[in-house]
Amino acid sequence: DASRRAIRKVLNRVDSLLDISKMESGEMSLDREPIDLITLADSVANELRPLADELEVEIINQVSPDLPPLDVDGDKIESVLLNLVDNALKYSPANSRVVINSRIVDKQFLQVEVIDNGPGVPADYKKRLFDRFVQVEGRQVVRRGVGLGLAFCKLVTEAHGGKIWVEDNPDGGSIFIATLPIAILPELAD
């Protein structure tokens, strides 16, 4: 399992680099379709649960099944969630939680939140954290990254017409927030 996760992580980094390059050059198209956020969040939680167990961190999916479906490229948004939850795990102390939550912002967007109890993000990093190769210096982490995951998240979120940012968690740690478009489905006749 650990080997499979390591291989997938390397492949995800290569895919992220390619996707970042394609998005920046305008060559990437999105395969948008209606998909439930809870399905994507469940998939991410299940994939990262073995790693979370090793780190003694609990992943909690609080996404409501009653939310309207998203109008997104499911694979790309799943990768965004995977990056955000993986980052949260990377910085979370043992015996803490990473929570995936969501709410409706308006008729057009859902807000997705990944909440952790890690060290938080210093104020001077909050805006540039989503740039390529930026990492908070001086942090002790179990697994190092290369600073591409959040840049990928920003480009994908913006390609869907949404926004992404980070806020302080009042309970300590960070809340990474992304807005994603709600699918507009035709109404069915009675």
- pLDDT, residue 52, reads 95
- pLDDT, residue 145, reads 58
Q: Which one-letter amino acid corresponds to residue 106? A: D
Over range 141-156, report the average pLDDT.
74
- pLDDT, residue 127, reads 81
**Tokens coding 34:** 């209606």
Q: Which residue has the higher pLDDT, 132 or 84?
A: 84
Residue with tokens 């709600």, as numbered in its chain: 182
The rounded mean pLDDT for the chain is 86
Burial class (CB within 10 angstroms; exposed 0-12, middle 13-18, buried 19+) of 64? exposed
Please give the Cα distance from 97 to 77 (Å, whole number). 22
The answer on pLDDT for 138 being more than 60 is no
Residue with tokens 């490229």, as numbered in its chain: 73
For 107-111, which contacts have Cβ atoms below 8 Å and span 24 or more sequence positions?
A: 107/182, 108/181, 108/182, 109/162, 109/179, 109/180, 109/181, 109/182, 110/37, 110/67, 110/68, 110/70, 110/179, 110/180, 110/182, 111/177, 111/178, 111/179
The answer on pLDDT for 160 being more than 60 is yes
Over range 116-121, report the average pLDDT.
90
- pLDDT, residue 4, reads 77
Beta bridge partners of 177: 113, 165
pLDDT classification of 124: cutoffs 50, 70, 90 = confident
- pLDDT, residue 185, reads 73
Is this model's pTM higher than 0.75 or not?
yes
